[in-house]
């Protein structure tokens, strides 16, 4: 006969619903808020730990530790908004203009153009999950201190007659260690009010 957990161990600890997604002005610069990325979904959050070991033929491994420590976050934007794409991508990979005269469209346009090798600037990212528990808002916040866009723009057009005509624009960011911060607090932080 299977054994089941009989209750939630920590009150209000279940994460539900979507996440507000924000990008900061620069790496480490996301204490209160940043630029809202817009509607979309945080698809996955994965901490990556690559270990090193030093082996000895006649003894247990004398040294073991972390060689590389990163985090991968995948999210999708549902709004085609070039100014935000430029911020996600570091603001020096592209040329971006808001509300300016278009060259190829007749009216005012938001423009992003790209091409040319350059160093990608790291940004801070913030993901906030809010839920209502007993008439009070409970939040979980994830902040990645220093991250960069790993993938380029990718989207597939849809028919106007599609059941769901909204185009999804996926992004993958990689968080890396911010060595200007204290060891043990260089990659990301998660604060959760649930169960507190």
Q: What is the pLDDT of residues 5-28, one digit of tens each?
A: 666 666 667 766 789 999 988 887
Residue 119 phi/psi, 5° resolution? -75, 135
Q: Which has the closest alpha carbon to 125: 55, 48, 73?
A: 73
Rounded to two decimals, what is the model's pTM? 0.86
Q: Which CATH class is domain 19-192?
A: mainly beta
76: CB partners within 8 A, 6+ apart: 40, 41, 43, 168, 169, 170, 171
Contact between residue 160 and residue 63 where contact means Cβ atoms under 8 Å apart: no
| Residue 90: CA count within 13 A, CB half-sphere | 20
Domain ranges for the chain, please list them.
Answer: 19-192
| Across 50-54, 63-67, 113-117, least confident range | 63-67
H or E element in which residue 85 lies: helix 82-88
- Evaluate if residue 123 carries a pLDDT over 90: yes
Cβ distance 188 to 159 under 8 Å? no
Q: How confident is the model at residue 1 (pLDDT cuts 50, 70, 90)?
A: low
Among residues 114, 125, 119, the alpha carbon closest in space to that of 152 is found at 114
pLDDT class of 57 with cuts at 50, 70, 90: confident
Q: Is the pLDDT of residue 29 over 80?
A: no
Structure tokens at 76: 């999708």
Average pLDDT taken over every residue of the chain: 86
Q: How does pLDDT run across 158-174, given as a tens digit for each residue? A: 888 988 888 899 999 99
- Which tops the pLDDT comparison, 10 or 73? 73
pLDDT of residue 89: 92
With bands split at pLDDT 50, 70 and 90, how would you rate the model's confidence at 31?
low
Token duo for residue 41 = 């979904």
B/e letters for 128-159, b = 16+ CB within 10 Å, e = fewer, are bbebeeeeeebebbbbbbbbbbeeeeeeeeee
């Amino acid at each position: 006969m299977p054994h089941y957990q009989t209750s939630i161990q920590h009150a209000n600890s279940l994460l539900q619903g979507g996440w507000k997604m924000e990008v900061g002005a620069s790496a480490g610069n996301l204490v209160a808020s940043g630029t809202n990325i817009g509607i979309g979904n945080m698809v996955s959050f994965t901490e990556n730990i690559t270990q090193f070991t030093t082996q000895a033929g006649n003894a247990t491994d004398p040294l073991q530790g972390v060689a590389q420590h990163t985090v991968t976050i995948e999210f999708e934007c549902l709004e085609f908004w070039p100014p935000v794409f430029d911020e996600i991508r570091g603001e020096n990979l592209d040329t971006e203009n808001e509300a300016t005269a278009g060259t190829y469209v007749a009216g005012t346009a938001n423009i992003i153009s790209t091409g040319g090798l350059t160093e990608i600037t790291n940004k801070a990212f913030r993901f906030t999950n809010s839920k209502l528990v007993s008439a009070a808002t409970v939040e979980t916040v994830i902040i990645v201190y220093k991250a960069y866009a790993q993938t380029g723009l990718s989207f597939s057009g849809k028919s106007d007659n599609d059941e769901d005509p909204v185009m999804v624009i996926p992004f993958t960011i990689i968080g890396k260690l911010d060595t200007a911060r204290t060891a043990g607090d260089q990659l990301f932080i998660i604060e959760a009010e649930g169960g507190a």
